[in-house]
Amino acid sequence: MANKDYKAICNAIIQVSGGGSNITNVSHCMTRLRLQLANGSKLNQEEAKKIPGVLNLIIQNGEYQFVIGQDVPSLYEEFTKCDGIKASGEIADADALKQDSEAKRGNFFNAIMSFIGGTFSPVIPVLIAGGLTGAVLTLLTTFFGVATDSGTYTIIYAINQATFYFLPIFIGFSAATRLKSNGYLGAFLGAILLYSTINNAEGLNFLGVQVAQVAYNSTVFPIILGVLFMSVIYKFLQKYVPVYFRTIFVPLITILITVPVTLIVLGPIGNLAGTWLASGVLSLYRAVPAVAVMVIGITTPLMVFFGMNNAAYPVVFALLAEVGSDPLICTGMAPANVAVGGACLAVALIAKEINDKSIATGAGITALCGITEPGVYGVLFTKKYPLVGAMIGGGIGGLIAGLVGMTQYVISTPGFISIPAYINPDGSSGNLIWSIVVMIIAVIVSFGVTYFLGKRAQAKSA
């Protein structure tokens, strides 16, 4: 929908959410406006889904997510202008909050996936910008003659390497913030793990206890486990330390407890978990590569719908650390994402209502670039038959990708806009060509299947 009235959308969301006093926190990710409510029962879910500009409403672990699209920052800005919206507020209904808490405990797996996905979601822009600079370096050295000892190469290489070397700092901040703990202490823990005398250090001990040698710059599991433990300590101290001493003693004691426990216990456990995960995933891929990638291609729209797609990033990092590329997760998501675009464009072609055409066209173009939430929530799951088309297109694309050994060399949002991510660092073009072919096939198949199913659905309803 072009020329959105973000102020009107903001006011409508506030109204259906029970008023500004019921909204305790507002944030946003790439495509969703995320609200935390004091009393979730005051939200009118049916009216929320009818607001022009809102593609869908997702309720996940006590958080109310309005699917908007990539223009969500513009809507978020309107909320920051509202004096009635508080960063934190009183709990209006303790019973409702208790029910939300019990629901979280009742679905432990969903809570874990939500935490991991919510932790990585804010870091994605950094991963994309830093990851694709690796492809930029390949282009510069292969086609433009930039020398590897030049200042230009050194600077861009630093951008690329800093992204992943210092990733535990970003993850630490994001994870702690997600847990409603102190984000800066989370980042501080990440920085400590990366310090030169700790990161990958040999022969280190603490009070006579041996500290395992772990390369913290190449794994994300230790910092996640460390922040989980840190948040428990921090919240306990915040609750029981007298208010006059909190500023000094809470951060000091938190770090003095957290760091040794992380280095001695949690870090090695996280490192081992990452190694096992990479080995397990690689074993599956090597046994049946075509089937493994095809499954990712088929199920990606479902993972997006349930908010589990970002939770796959730890697997991606494990693969990158193990083999230097990702032949499974992002490789399977690439044809899946563009297949969503093909399905949406087919819907736009056969839609009779101008608003449906507008939503489907915008969602289709966005999905071709790799951002599928608007298409998944606004088109695929509202009409159903485009979902079938997208899953078939993504599955066939994934099957071909697995058969030819397609892989993604750097972190990026899988889609046509990230084509450079498939350039082999050795300068060969085979993987790049296959990635383009695979994605084009996925678009054509999803478009054709969706168009056929859509026309048949229209004929039945006529």
Do 306 and 451 fall within a single domain?
yes
pLDDT 10s digits, 263-277: 999 999 998 988 888
Do 89 and 238 fall within a single domain?
no
Give the percent of the chain with pLDDT over 70: 93
Q: List the domain range (segments joined by +) for residue 31.
A: 6-106
Do 311 and 393 fall within a single domain?
yes
Give the percent of the chain with pLDDT over 90: 44
pLDDT at 309 (0 to 100): 74
Summarize the confidence of residues 57-83 as an average pLDDT: 83
**Residue 422 and residue 435 in contact, taking contact as beta carbons nearer than 8 Å:** yes
Long-range contacts of 40-49 (CB under 8 A, 24+ apart): 40/64, 40/96, 40/100, 41/93, 41/96, 42/17, 42/18, 42/92, 43/16, 43/17, 43/18, 44/16, 47/16, 48/13, 48/16, 48/17
Q: The pTM is what?
A: 0.70
The domain tally of the chain equals 3
Do 311 and 170 fall within a single domain?
no
Do 37 and 184 fall within a single domain?
no
Do 307 and 448 fall within a single domain?
yes
Q: Is the pLDDT of residue 157 over 70?
A: yes
**Residue 69 and residue 376 in contact, taking contact as beta carbons nearer than 8 Å:** no
Which DSSP string corresponds to 37-105?
Answer: ES-GGG--HHHHHHSTT--EEEEETTEEEEE--TTHHHHHHHHHT-TT--SS---S-HHHHHHHHHHHH
Q: What is the CATH number of the domain that holds 98?
A: 3.30.1360.60
Q: How far apart are the C-alpha atoms of 27 and 46, rounded to whole Å?
A: 22
Q: Is residue 220 part of a domain?
A: yes
Q: Is residue 398 part of a domain?
A: yes
For residue 19, name the pLDDT band (cuts at 50, 70, 90).
confident
Q: Which two tokens stand for residue 371?
A: 């951002």
Q: How far apart are the C-alpha atoms of 378 and 245, rounded to whole Å?
A: 50
Q: How far apart are the C-alpha atoms of 52 and 59, rounded to whole Å?
A: 19
pLDDT at 84 (0 to 100): 63
pLDDT at 104 (0 to 100): 45
Q: Is the pLDDT of residue 90 over 50?
A: no
Asked which of 280, 302, 320 is the last residue of a domain, the reply is 280
pLDDT 10s digits, 173-189: 999 988 889 999 999 99
Do 384 and 450 fall within a single domain?
yes
Do 311 and 404 fall within a single domain?
yes
Q: Which two tokens stand for residue 231?
A: 């948040």
Q: Which two tokens stand for residue 403?
A: 């058969």
Q: How far apart are the C-alpha atoms of 81 and 113, rounded to whole Å?
A: 32
Do 357 and 273 fall within a single domain?
no
Q: Is the pLDDT of residue 209 over 80?
A: yes
**Residue 43 and residue 93 in contact, taking contact as beta carbons nearer than 8 Å:** no
| Residue 27, phi then psi, degrees to nearest 5 | -150, 180
Average confidence score pLDDT of the chain: 86
Q: Is residue 133 part of a domain?
A: no
Which residues pair with residue 422 across a beta bridge? Answer: none
Q: How far apart are the C-alpha atoms of 250 and 257, rounded to whole Å?
A: 11
Most confident of 92-96, 202-206, 307-311, 443-447: 443-447
Q: How far apart are the C-alpha atoms of 308 and 458, rounded to whole Å?
A: 32
pLDDT at 119 (0 to 100): 83
Q: Is residue 130 part of a domain?
A: no
For residue 124, name the pLDDT band (cuts at 50, 70, 90).
confident
Q: Is the pLDDT of residue 101 over 50?
A: no
Q: Which two tokens stand for residue 84?
A: 């009635």
